Structure 1
Amino acid sequence: NPFNPTTIIKYSVPNVVSNFSSNNVELKVYDVLGREIKTLVNQKQKAGNYEVSFDAKELSSGVYFYRLQSGDFIQTKKMMLLK
């Protein structure tokens, strides 16, 4: 889904061991060349659903990716910035 200039990224932290354990969660944004643009989340979080705001007003139009990592779990999704 295209966005301009901000979007809400919804993500789920998987239940790795139990709902009572916290894992370090990283959610980072990358450009199409794989360069890291911004770290949106870098903290311990329990399994569950979360949201984080991404402000891209300083970036150019184009395709960006965000990567969620929690333990061995890695998920990458694409997003489109249109100005």
Structure 2
Amino acid sequence: QPNDSILAVNLKSLSGIPTQLNLSQNYPNPFNPSTKIQYSIANSGNVKLDVYNIIGKHVLSLVNSYQTSGNYEVEFSTDALKNKLTSGIYIYTLKSNNYTISKKMVLMK
């Protein structure tokens, strides 16, 4: 059963005006226990940033809200998940205005 809880720590709006949807590689990567993900949305709208395990099962939602055009950074920590995430490869996916971008990240314990 997927964990549909929203877990967002330090969601920040960054300066600049983006011209397209963009998702940056998380840093640090590999990570333990926390990592930062930066993304840009050119057009205001509903934004979802979700994490999936390597077999495609939804693990958690980092962002699920309406956001204005801009550059953002979300930091999340696995500490809050009480060891529900194991070491391995995870896919994080940004969805906004019918566009989707995905990248891989590695959790090492």
User: If the length of structure 2 is used for normalisation, what is the TM-score?
Assistant: 0.66
CA distance in 2, matches of 1:60, 1:2: 13
Please state if 1:46 is matched with 2:68. yes
Instruction: Quote the Cα distance in structure 2 between the aligned partners of 1:73 and 1:46.
Output: 16
Q: State the aligned residue count.
A: 77
Amino acid of the structure 2 residue aligned with 1:38: L
Q: 2:40 aligns with which of 12, 36, 52?
A: 12
The answer as to 2:25 corresponding to 1:3 is no
The aligned residue for residue 29 of structure 1 is 51
More strand by share: 1
Offset, 1:25: 0.2
More contact order relative to length (CA 8 Å, sep ≥ 6): 1
State the distance in 1 between where 2:97 and 2:63 align: 14
Are residue 65 (structure 1) and residue 87 (structure 2) matched? Answer: no
SS of alignment partner, residue 62 of structure 2: strand
The percentage of aligned residue pairs carrying the same residue is 49
CA distance in 1, matches of 2:76, 2:89: 14
| Structure 2 unaligned spans of 5+ | 1-28
Runs of 4+ residues deviating >2 angstroms: none
Provide the aligned C-alpha RMSD in A. 1.1
Which amino acid is 1:6 matched to? S
C-alpha displacement at 1:56, in angstroms? 2.1
Deviation at 1:9, TM superposition (A): 1.1
Shift of 1:55: 1.7
